[in-house]
Structure 1
Amino acid sequence: MLSTILGFSAFGFAARVGQLAIQQRPLFSNPAGHALAAVSFGTLGYFEYLWELRADELIALKREQIAQKRKDRTNPPPEA
């Protein structure tokens, strides 16, 4: 989780630096803007991590359902 959050934060910081470089403004004249970009992208990274965990749970559940259907299809119940 920490690597995801730090990775997104680093990307946010780099995006802010890139933005200021394109505008040809001083890179560290307003450090609050860098902090805001890093925190906001870090928050996105946290929610992406939670989304990935939920997706893994849903995929595991779906695989279990598919395996059960295959088992039921290959082993039909005995006729009475």
Structure 2
Amino acid sequence: MPMLANILGFSLFGLAARFGQLGIQKRNLFENLGGHALAMGVFGYGGYWAWRWDQASAELIAKKKAEIAASRKERLAKVEAIEAKLMAQKENGEEH
């Protein structure tokens, strides 16, 4: 449903842009219906690509978040291991 809403929204924006263009030129709004269809098609196609870009970027962001979480866990494990090693040395009376 979001894809359809995105395409329709962009198409309606294309129609509004076409009406604005004809309004500035002071031409009849219903003179060339093919131009309206073309504008709606072009903007609708742009809406489709915007939706695809949104989906792809959401996947990339999710992957990057997972990578960051994994690296944070690894870093935390390393720090805890170093702390445990230092605490063991301190208990044994060894000093650096």
Q: Name the TM-score class by shorter chain.
A: over 0.9
Amino acid at match of 1:75: A
Q: How many Å separate the matches in 2 of 1:78 and 1:6?
A: 56
Q: Give unmatched runs, 5+ long, in structure 1.
A: none
Q: How many Å separate the matches in 1 of 2:13 and 2:81?
A: 60
Q: Could you list the runs of 4 or more consecutive aligned residues of structure 1 that deviate by over 3 angstroms after TM superposition?
A: none
Aligned to 2:66: 64
Aligned to 1:54: 56
Q: How many Å separate the matches in 1 of 2:29 and 2:81?
A: 75
Higher relative contact order (CA 8 A, sep 6+): 1
Higher helix share: 2
- Number of residue pairs matched? 79
Aligned to 1:75: 77
Q: CA RMSD in A?
A: 1.3
Amino acid at match of 1:34: H
Q: How many Å separate the matches in 2 of 1:9 and 1:26?
A: 20
Amino acid at match of 2:68: I
Amino acid at match of 2:77: N
